[in-house]
Structure 1
Amino acid sequence: MKLAWLGLLLMCMNMAQAETPSAPTAPPAQADAAQVAKDAANYRKARQAVADLEKISAPSGIQETYKTMIGGVEQWLNVRGQDRDQPMILFVHGGPAAPAMPTIWQYQRPIEEYFTVVNWDQRGAGKSYAETDPNVVGDTIHIPRYIDDAIEVAEFLRKKYHKDKLILMGHSWGTVVAMGAALKRPDLFYAYVGMGQVISVRENEGVSFDYALQQAKAHNNTEALKELQSIAPYPGNQPITRERIILARKWPQYYGGMTAYRNESDYYFDGPLLSPEYTAADVHNIDRGNLLTLGRLLPEFVQVDYSPVRSFPIPVIMFMGRHDYTTPSEPTARWLAQVKAPYKQGVWFEHAAHMIPWEEPGKVLVSLLRYVRPLAEPARKK
């Protein structure tokens, strides 16, 4: 069954179509029971192979997945690293409700050699979705609550793993949450790393729309032109409604604004099917979490604007995809140029759009080692 994961990265609306079955794709009707059983067994073997590859065997390492009470509801954490004494990264995923945990097997292992990485399924997202009645969680779906959750997670991790501070990373929607947490509680973090950073939603939407219109004209795409012109000028002075933002996101992502040089990102949307951390029910709950959170957060999300922030209390590093037209990088680069911070650094990923860790994992690792890890080194040497 095809499902639209309306929130990855937001960002709020991703019109990419994703295959999210609860089991391997069903064989043709004429296939016999033996073939069905064989296919199911092969699927289980594939997941086990990923689990075996991901296994951390080093005596100094850590590999844990568990739930804990955060902000009054149980939420899931995944903690991985080859050496528990390495600096710890708290990764705040995109969406809303697009957890990174089920796809970290695709890109994270090299990072785990130099950092302990924590992935957190936010309230209403992924594995956390099933822990609390959606009707109860639904009333708490507000940006300030997510920011407070991130702070509570950071405090929990510091205490449990005996860390002075953490490195805070956000991706897409997660940058709204993480940046808010860094501004509110800078004492918890060595540095903030933004990827697919959201500075001003309205500005982002305008840049993204203009890119799509330019590409549609260049490719004489009459379907795209008709749909885009139906909401022009965008965003203009009109409200950014669910219907308008879905249409506005569709064509920039088709023209490589989500994954560079591609009109689809199936590697990401199908990735959870091989996740050792996710059951079939967890995979289905990704989509349910999107539906739970998106409508509730959209009115607040479209008002997000960090451009008035002229001073940042901790080191800030921005990873920017040159081809990102899901959360365009140009506004982030302009903001970074004028902000005052103890340390700041912009890193351009020339062959990436929005999915930087998946698209250029090698450069992500090198950049973390060059620009981020030294910020936590003095504490490790005490």
Structure 2
Amino acid sequence: MIATIATATVAALTAPTAGLLGYRQLKRAANAKKIRITAPNSIDESGFVRIGGIDQWISIRGEDLGNPVILEILGGPGASNLVFLPRTHVWEKHFTIVRWDMRGAGFTFAAGGPDGQGELNYDRLHRDALEVTEYVRARLGVAKLLLVANSFGTVLGLRLARNHPELYSGYVGTDQNIIDGGRDHTAYDAMLARLQKAGKKRELATALEMGADRRSWTVKQVAEFNKLVLTSDPLSYDTMKTVVIRSLWFSPLHTLRGLRAYLKAMTWSEQLQVQAATIDERAEGTDFAIPFFIFQGDGDVLTPPQPAKRFFDEVSAPVKEFALIRNASHFASFRHPDQFIDLMLTKVRPAITGQPLAA
């Protein structure tokens, strides 16, 4: 969802002055030191694993292999969570985290390019996720993984959690998408109101022309919608600049060429948003046999908390909890990683381990 905005920003930075490049290198070096893992019984490994007939990048990091294991389902689509490592490394004190660059994303896309990704649809990603799950279970010797899905990844995350309780100890959705078969227009209607109030006549005309029903949108219109939503809201736009763009630009894992590939992956993967336009989460089922959590930004205008809360209220699960992350837009867990890990430790970990948070 960030490709349209981020591409223009990073493109302007990929041919900068020598001084700016030097500053970037200093920040990248500091971030590389910041995310280093050296604790006893820790793990820090990454590389390509054969998944679904292609090589896909998997990173496994954590300071104690005795901690619960998280499988992150990235957003975007096509947006690798590896760029946020300097912001989220503190999570690795309490969880072992598997960050998977699925087909069409991150290092997986960079290695194979568009022609090396194979088919890209939700059934294929679902099968890939199950293969990744089995690989991690065998590699780490654990019975179940905790699903943590963000943004567009929550579409896949819900299906995994709903259909495979034998593999997952719980589900955490943040920036939770509720597509509702194309019926939910909360984000669209609020965007129209903001554009009208700001007197943005040209942007308003563009939004009105595309209409509220995302099932009729083209890939280009989906990208335009995301851009209009995020740039018309001050908190979201600030998050894009201070959290997302800065994380991309100062990522210790990504060269300038790597950043270009990262953004190309997101643009190429936008086709998934058109495919997802008719997904109906309620029709697929609201019964979950595992603990179920949604942690949403209180100011998220792209995946608003109201539809997520309505869906949550209909969910049946052995344990469930909904919480708002304060002063947060979309990318809530990355803007406020401290609030997110506090929720993970006080709400989620006790539910999946049966043990209260240690004093």
- TM-score, length-scaled by structure 2: 0.90
In the aligned structure 2, how far is the partner of 1:136 from the partner of 1:195?
30
Quote the residue 1:101 is aligned against: 82
- Higher deviation after alignment, 216-225 or 322-331: 216-225
1:358 to partner: Cα distance? 2.0
Tell me the residue number matched to 1:77: 58
Q: Cα gap change, 1:220/1:239 in structure 2, threshold over 3 Å: closer, same or farther?
A: same
Aligned with residue 373 of structure 1, among 341, 349, 355: 349
Query: Post-superposition shift, 1:287?
Result: 1.7
Report the more deviating stretch, 260-269 or 359-368.
260-269
- Determine the structure 1 residue equivalent to 2:276: 301
Paired with 1:45 and 1:350, the residues of 2 have a C-alpha distance of 32
Q: Across the two proteins, how many residue pairs are aligned to each other? A: 355
Which residue of 1 is the match for residue 92 of structure 2? 112
Contact 2:319 2:351 in 1 (8 A): no
Q: Which residue, 233, 244, 256 being the options, matches 1:256?
A: 233
Flag structure 1 segments of 5+ consecutive residues without an equivalent.
1-6, 28-35
Distance in 2, matches of 1:41 and 1:246, equals 33
Deviations along 1:108-134, whole A, 9 cap, x unmatched?
A: 122111111111111121111133352
| Distance of aligned partners of 1:357 and 1:363 in 2 relative to their CA distance in 1, 3 Å threshold | same
User: 31, 35, 45: which is aligned to 2:26?
Assistant: 45
Q: Between Structure 1 and Structure 2, whose CA radius of gyration is higher?
A: 1
Number of the residue aligned with 1:175: 154
| Structure 2, unaligned runs of 5 or more | none
* 2:314 equivalent to 1:338: yes
1:71 maps to amino acid: G
323, 330, 337: which is aligned to 1:354? 330
Name 1:20's counterpart in structure 2. Answer: 10
Identical-residue share of aligned pairs (%): 26
**Which range is displaced more, 161-170 or 57-66?**
57-66
Q: Say which SS state the counterpart of residue 63 (structure 1) adopts.
A: strand
CA distance in 2, matches of 1:379, 1:150: 28
Residues 126 and 333 of structure 1: CA distance in aligned 2, closer, same or farther (over 3 Å)? same
Is the CA contact 1:124–1:293 (under 8 Å) kept in the aligned structure 2?
yes
SS at match of 1:108: helix
Matches within 5 A, 1:129-144: 129-137=109-117, 139-144=118-123
Describe the SS at the equivalent of 2:77. coil
Cα distance per residue 1:306-334 (max 9 Å; x no partner): 12213112111001112212122211111
What letter matches 1:195 in structure 2? T
Aligned partners of 2:131, 2:42: CA distance in 1, in Å? 24
- Alpha-carbon distance in structure 2 between the residues aligned to 1:277 and 1:263: 21
Give the drift of 1:281: 2.6
User: Are residue 240 (structure 1) and residue 236 (structure 2) matched?
Assistant: no
Q: 1:351 to 1:42 in 2, by over 3 A?
A: closer
| Counterpart residue number, 2:254 | 278
SS in 2 for 1:325: coil
In structure 2, distance between residues paired with 1:39 and 1:356: 28
Q: Separation in 2 of the partners of 1:321 and 1:280?
A: 31
Shift of 1:265: 3.1
Q: Distance in 2 between matches of 1:48 and 1:291?
A: 28
Deviation for aligned residue 1:224: 2.9
Q: CA deviation at 1:146?
A: 0.7
Counterpart residue identity of residue 153, structure 2: G
Amino acid at match of 2:218: T
Aligned to 1:51, the other structure's residue is in SS state: helix
Kindly tell me: are residues 15 and 305 of structure 1, through their superposed partners in 2, closer, same or farther at Cα, counting changes over 3 Å?
Answer: farther
The one-letter code matched in structure 2 to 1:26 is P
What's the C-alpha RMSD, in Å, of the aligned pairs? 2.5
Conserved? CA contact 1:196–1:327, under 8 Å: yes
Contact 1:24 1:43 in 2 (8 A): no
Q: 259-268 or 329-338: which moved more?
A: 259-268
More helix by share: 2
- SS of the residue corresponding to residue 85 of structure 1 reads coil
**2:300 is the alignment partner of 1:319:** no
